[in-house]
Structure formats: C-alpha cells, structure tokens
C-alpha cells in the first residue's frame, strides 16, 4: 500500500511539473500579447485598426503612421523566400537520402545543420559585402534583360539594379531557411519504410518514380512541418534583412527597389522614436507581426492536421 501511495505521489508531482512547464508557455505568449496591446494602445486609439493597416504613410515628423508598406514588404519577402527555398531544400533532402553515395551523406548533413547555426548578422554582412555586389552587377541585370521584357512578369524586374533591394533580401532569407526544411524533409524521407521502396523497385519503378510516388507522399507531413518552421523564421528575421533591404516605406512593383518590413522598421527606428505616438506606432507594428505570425502558423497547423487525418484514413 505504501509503495502504491508513493508511486501515486511521484506521478502526481511529475504531472504537476509538466503541467506547470506547459502553462509557462501559454503565460509567456499571453504576457507578450498584453504588453504589446498596452504599449500600442495610444496608436490603436489614434489611428484605429483599418486605417492603420491600409495607410501607406510613415512620416515621423508629421506623426502620420501606417502599416501597409511594412506589411507588404514582410509578405512579399517571406513568400519569395519560400518560393526560392522550398524546391532547393527538398532537392537537397532527396539527394542526401536517395541519390548521394554513403560517404557524402554525413558531410552534407553536417553542412546543412551548420547553415542553421550561423548567426543572422553574419548572413547580413555577407549579403551586404558579397551578395549585393554580385546581384547588382551580374544577376539582376541578366534578369532585367531576359525576364524584364516579358509582359506582366517583367514588371517585377524593372528599375535600376542596386543590389540593396527586395530580391537580395529574399535570397538571403531563402538561404537562411533552407536548412530547416531540408533537415526535417531529410529525416522524414529516412522514415519511409525500406520494404515499400524495395517493392517499387522490384516492379520496375525508376528512382524518380520511387521518389515521386512513394517517398514524397509518405513524407509530406514532415515536409509541411519543415515549411511551417521556415515560414516562422522568415516572418521574424531582422538583422540579415536589415543589411540588404533598405528602409523604403513605399509599395513598389519591382523587386529591384528597396522596401521595408516590420522587423527592419523596428530595428532601424526604435531607438529614434522620441515621441509617444511614434513609439506606440512601432509597438503597433510589433503587435501586427505577432498576429500575422500566429495566423500563419495556425493556418499551417490546420492544413497539417487536415493532411494528417486524410493520411490516417
């Protein structure tokens, strides 16, 4: 009886500790939300919600503030970075798991993990001093000369290639998020049962057919999870983007123009906010970014659960 009571008390203590640990996460999120709402309340009451989100004004002198330009820059840079990174990351994962010789798998895996460990400021410095000149001298002029003449799509590649622009920032972001999708996709591919792949090869399937019809469908939930992590990293990245994006509070159609994101605006202007409304507007931007991240990750989790249910059926 004493042993049972002791076991029950240990189980109760263990359950209590884990519950408290889980509750801390919720309390931290609620605490961050409360602070952001409290600090941005002056701007919320002054500009409202719809007006602040729709306005393209950002004039600290006249104290006219709007979030449209920074929301636009955040959205475009994130989507473009994912568009570049996802095919590359999945390609890396496929090569490492299905094509690469055994002696190359470990070094490539370590290199991918090292990319994730590099501080963002290093990416920013490399982007400013190395990638930006390459983009302005070679890549962007080539894109302008080739794709710039194509109707509709060519609008994205107009203007003077400077290297400090939306395209360069998106390339930097894509390099930073590749390790997350690649690592998780690689681990998901390795979980595909060998007997299933061997059965496909036995009936005459090629390597491409095995990857397309066996590995990718079996691992799609892991791929979605990696993309979700990459999305969160891309939305919140600051220093690497600040080096190569500029700080242009305008909505432009060309990827060769400087732009502004919420994180870059906060990093560049927070110490310069000398008026209450200015500071409150920056907190308002942070609140919007918090909500954007929550919505994006919630949607990603919803689709992930939906795909998981479909797979389980």
The residue extents of the domains of the chain are: 48-312
Per-residue pLDDT tens for 31-51?
999 999 999 999 999 999 899
Beta bridge partners of 65: 58
22-50: buried (b, 16+ CB within 10 Å) or exposed (e) per residue? eeeeeeeeeeeeeebeebbebbbebbeee
- CA dist 180 and 279 (Å) reads 34
Strands 58-59 and 64-65: antiparallel
Q: What is the percent of the chain with per-residue pLDDT over 90, rounded to a whole number?
A: 41
Of residues 285 and 15, the one with the higher pLDDT is 285
- What value, to the nearest 5°, has the Cα angle with vertex 277 and ends 274 and 278? 50
pLDDT at 27: 93
Per-residue pLDDT tens for 84-126?
999 999 999 999 988 888 888 888 888 888 888 888 899 999 9
pLDDT at 287: 94
What DSSP assignment string belongs to 195-217? HHHHHHHHTT--HHHHIIIIIHH
Q: How confident is the model at residue 308 (pLDDT cuts 50, 70, 90)?
A: low
pLDDT at 92: 93
Please give the DSSP secondary-structure letter assigned to residue 158. Answer: -
Quick one: tokens of 148? 């710039």
Determine which of 107-116, 160-169, 301-310 has the lowest per-residue pLDDT on average: 301-310
Q: What CATH homologous superfamily does 48-312 map to?
A: MetI-like (1.10.3720.10)
- CA dist 156 and 201 (Å) reads 44
Residue-averaged pLDDT of the chain: 88
Please give the DSSP secondary-structure letter assigned to residue 59. Answer: E
pLDDT at 8: 73
Per-residue pLDDT tens for 180-229?
889 888 888 888 888 888 888 888 888 899 999 989 888 888 888 888 88
pLDDT at 309 over 80: no
- CA dist 23 and 209 (Å) reads 46
pTM of the model: 0.88
């Amino acid at each position: 009886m004493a042993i049972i009571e002791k076991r029950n008390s240990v189980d109760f203590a263990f359950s209590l500790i884990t519950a408290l640990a889980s509750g801390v996460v919720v309390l931290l999120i609620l605490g961050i939300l409360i602070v952001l709402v409290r600090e941005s309340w002056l701007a919320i009451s002054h500009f409202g919600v719809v007006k602040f989100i729709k306005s393209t004004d950002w004039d600290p002198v006249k104290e006219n503030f709007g979030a449209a330009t920074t929301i636009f820059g955040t959205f475009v840079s994130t989507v473009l970075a994912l568009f570049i990174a996802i095919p590359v990351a999945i390609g890396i994962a496929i090569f490492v798991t299905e094509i690469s010789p055994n002696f190359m798998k470990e070094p490539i895996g370590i290199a991918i993990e090292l990319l994730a460990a590099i501080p963002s400021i290093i990416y920013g410095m490399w982007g400013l001093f190395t990638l930006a000149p390459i983009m302005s001298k070679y890549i962007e002029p080539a894109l302008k000369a080739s794709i710039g003449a194509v109707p509709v799509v060519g609008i994205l590649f107009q203007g003077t290639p400077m290297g400090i622009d939306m395209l360069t920032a998106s390339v930097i972001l894509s390099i930073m998020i590749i390790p997350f999708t690649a690592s998780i996709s690689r681990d998901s591919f390795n979980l595909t049962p060998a007997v299933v792949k061997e059965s496909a090869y036995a009936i005459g399937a090629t390597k491409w057919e095995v990857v397309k019809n066996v590995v990718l469908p079996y691992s799609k939930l892991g791929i979605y999870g990696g993309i979700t992590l990459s999305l969160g990293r891309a939305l919140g990245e600051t220093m690497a983007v600040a080096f190569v994006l500029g700080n242009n509070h305008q909505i432009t159609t060309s990827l060769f123009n400087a732009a502004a994101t919420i994180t870059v605006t906060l990093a560049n202007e927070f110490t310069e906010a000398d008026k209450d409304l200015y500071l409150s507007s920056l907190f308002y931007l942070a609140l919007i970014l918090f909500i954007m991240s929550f919505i994006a990750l919630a949607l990603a989790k919803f689709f992930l659960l939906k795909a998981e249910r479909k797979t389980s059926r």
